């Protein structure tokens, strides 16, 4: 995962992933604009293994995090120096998640992601829909649906790790390790959706599994 080379920045071509545009509007009589991005809705799944009382995380290299660790002066270089900026700077710890880019129900997409990323084959009825919220309020306001799913060791039918070019490691954390993670002074290499999921689990579910 941490073998990183030939890193450079180039202009955005016409991209299926990032579609920026300007939103124009008049609010309370004032003309305004806001620059936006069109992104897909998504699912996030909190996967807790009740056989061994561990939370299942996915770990992967995230260019967006790596880029933000590079000093602005060094971003302009032809090639980023990966000795000065090793890949480890961009490794994120997240909940299992995926975008909704297929004509399937959110439940089916969540089920697929748990299998592909984490290797657990879960029946649909084990996926408990908790709520949904906006992924962001600034440049992207897509909807993320949040599921909770308890799994057992015997549901683990494959290794996980993603499909196609994805390079994903499955990581397990005990309840004390989760508490240590959210109580760290940071920077925590995780997005707020992962921290919300962790706090939600610690507050509403963890007590049952502490002993």
Task: Please check whether residue 169 is in contact with residue 150, taking contact to mean a CB–CB distance below 8 angstroms.
Answer: no
R_g over Cα of the chain:
19
Find how far residue 29's CA is from the centre of its chain: 39
Member of 67, 86, 169, 171 binding its own copies (CB under 8 A)? 67
Of 1, 50, 77, 124, the one binding its own copies (CB under 8 A) is 1
| Choice from 54, 118, 145, 155 touching its own copies (CB under 8 A) | 145
Pick the binder of its own copies from 57, 106, 155, 191 (CB under 8 A). 191
- What is the closest distance, in whole angstroms, from the C-beta atom of residue 20 to its own copies in the complex? 4
DSSP characters over 34-95? EEEEE---EEEEEEEETTTTEEEEEEEE-HHHHHHTS-HHHHTSSS--TTTS-GGGGEEEE-
The nearer residue to its own copies, 68 or 157, going by C-beta atoms, is 68
Q: Is 86 in the site for its own copies (CB under 8 A)?
A: no
37 part of the interface to its own copies, by CB under 8 A = yes
Q: Which of residues 96-115 bind its own copies (CB under 8 A)?
A: none
CB of 81 to its own copies, least distance (A): 13
> Both tokens of residue 19?
């579609």
Angle at 194 between CA 18 and CA 102, to 5 degrees: 45
Binding of residue 171 to its own copies (CB under 8 A): no
Which one, 120 or 147, has the nearer CB to its own copies?
147
Q: For its own copies, what does the binding mask look like between residues 125 and 144, x meaning CB under 8 A?
A: ----x-xxxxxxxxxxxxxx
Q: Determine the straight-line distance between the first and last CA of the chain, rounded to whole angstroms.
A: 35
CA nearest to 117, candidates 45, 181, 52: 45
């Amino acid at each position: 995962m941490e073998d990183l080379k030939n890193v450079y920045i180039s202009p955005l071509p016409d991209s299926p992933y990032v579609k920026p545009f300007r939103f124009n509007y008049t609010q309370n009589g004032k003309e305004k604009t806001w620059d936006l991005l069109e992104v897909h809705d998504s699912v996030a799944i909190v996967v807790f293994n009740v056989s061994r009382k561990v939370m299942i995380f996915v770990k992967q290299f995230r260019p967006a995090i790596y880029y933000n660790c590079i000093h602005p002066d060094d971003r302009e270089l032809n090639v980023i120096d990966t000795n000065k900026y090793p890949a480890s700077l961009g490794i994120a710890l997240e909940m299992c998640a995926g975008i909704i880019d297929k004509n399937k129900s959110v439940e089916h997409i969540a089920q697929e992601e748990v299998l592909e990323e984490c290797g657990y084959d879960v029946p649909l009825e084990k996926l408990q829909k908790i709520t949904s919220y906006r992924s962001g309020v600034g440049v992207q306001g897509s909807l993320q649906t949040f599921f909770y799913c308890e799994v057992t060791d015997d549901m683990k039918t494959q290794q996980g790790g993603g499909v196609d070019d994805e390079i994903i490691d499955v990581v397990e954390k005990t309840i004390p390790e989760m508490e240590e993670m959210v109580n760290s002074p940071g920077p925590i290499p995780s997005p707020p959706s992962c921290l919300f999921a962790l706090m939600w689990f610690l507050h509403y579910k963890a007590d049952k599994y502490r002993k």
